[in-house]
Chains A and B, each alone.
Chain A
């Protein structure tokens, strides 16, 4: 063996030594643990750290939140708050006509519910269509395909607050858009104080910020469709529209359903970028559920932690339903995949 090879072996052994030492040190207790508990016990052992983090930061706050929703007062310590049972829920749900927010005791909550409903419908529909179209384009043999894929994915990497700020600077009264409009001889417009345009901006910015992620999922789906199906369709002289409806869309459906459900969950939770962009305005036309909870729980001078907790639990129930839907969709996709 040459001197260089000997040196290499020595260095390798020296570097590996701590790992070997650690592995042998851990090996003894792990072996006894496995002997005592079997493979199930080993799984529990490795899952324990994750479960502890999940328990401390998700489960415990969730349980505490339930207690908060059954109390009233401005104090933050549970022992300083008075028990009111379901009063906060009754207050939130007290409404003569759920379609007319003015008749509701907590009209701002219902305003937020209505706004969130409308936002979810419009944003998810637009997000899905835009993501599908973008994925179809990026799946073609276009020049600079990798570059364009990166361009469309880039906004996903931005912090939502940065996204909101950038678009606020563009859309505000003295913003970039009005500067361009003015330079082209047009009349500058106050986009963010107009209900229609502020909502349009909120939806568009949200789609711009997140479509890259959904496009990526759909792109993976498109690339999994066997090429020979398209070649067969081409040989049969099938029109492109028919190819899309009869081949692409049905085979993309599992991915599309995942995209729709994920977008739905994300849309219900909408907060940061729209909060920075519109502040919930004009008036309350862009006040969404999460902002309502944040305002009433922490930000407003009229803060009410109990009411905020009750509202967040009601919102959580909606998210649970959507998550179950997502799981159902995922399972159906898996079964279909297995059959194929």
Chain B
């Protein structure tokens, strides 16, 4: 295992970064918010951290911390108008924000380096730092999910009327979801800038959104295991399929389609639902029959 990891360390690092982005995307979806703005928050975190460390001479830890906070602050500001929207309208509005951020990164050349990118960043972050960040985020998301906030998220996602009838404030919870997404997105954007020597605007555009969304759809929208499985598939599958050369894209695409069709809930969520079903059957074999056992 360790041998394999060492040989494929860049792939593993890329998996960890993708996983972080996927969690930033998942936390809003879990609360019933259809925001695609994670890419924009990561973009801000990445450029913010790179600028603060390279140009302003801040320590790396401070740069990463502030990059995270920039993502969080931006997400709070974005939530003020956009948390009121729902469904596809929210998706389109946040998509526009991502495009806007890419355009800004292209035009603000003195700060961002424009289309050439922000280059010559010393490498300060490696596998260890990425792994620690992922574990901390998983712990915090787990704590959130089993708390009052997570219960509010779950209720809002499944039925907003029911949530309101129980006193769950959609404005408050959706704002919290946005901020969580912004902090996580900003953190991994900042880490990426300290990891990859350079930052380019197109890293935080359409490709980012497709990869993170695909990771969640493949893995699962609810459990924390979902993005782990989904990101692993999204990163590893193209690597494993490398010998197929020019057929690679087709084979990868077909496999993804088959997985989505067979497990629309995502691999991890389908598996966990199956476990829960087994536990429920053991407790109450007649559960899904009407009272009195009539068919």
Co-assembled chains A and B: no
Interface residues of B (CB under 8 A from A): none
